[in-house]
Amino acid sequence: MDEKLKKSQLARLSRIEGQVRGVARMIEEGRYCIDVLTQIRAVRAALDKVEQETLGDHLQHCVAHAFHAGSEKDRQIKIDEILEVLDSRRR
């Protein structure tokens, strides 16, 4: 992962961490359920963004390298890894 993306991802994850603590506080305080659910959806959306950017970086660097410089076995491993991650997301 390049340094710019790494820095961006870490900053985003730090904000997400704060959001999750905020959701916990909301639950402790007995806040209205819809407000809690709205915040949970915001956390999920932020995590989805981290996931998308990480996947994009993986495809552009790790997978591209395997397809240009790797063996057929290396290419298949990268394909299988991505399929496994995507499949586990549907469960």
- Fold of the domain spanning 3-90: Methane Monooxygenase Hydroxylase; Chain G, domain 1 (1.20.58)
Distance CA 37, CA 3 (A): 34
Distant-in-sequence contacts of 47-52, Cβ < 8 A, 24+ apart: 47/16, 49/12, 50/9, 50/12, 50/13, 50/16
Residue 6 has pLDDT above 70, yes or no: yes
- pLDDT tens figures, 32-69: 999 999 999 999 999 999 999 999 999 998 888 888 88
Q: Which sequence spans correspond to the domains of the chain?
A: 3-90
This prediction has a pTM of: 0.82
> CA 33 → CA 9, 22, 24, 47, distances in Å?
29, 14, 12, 21
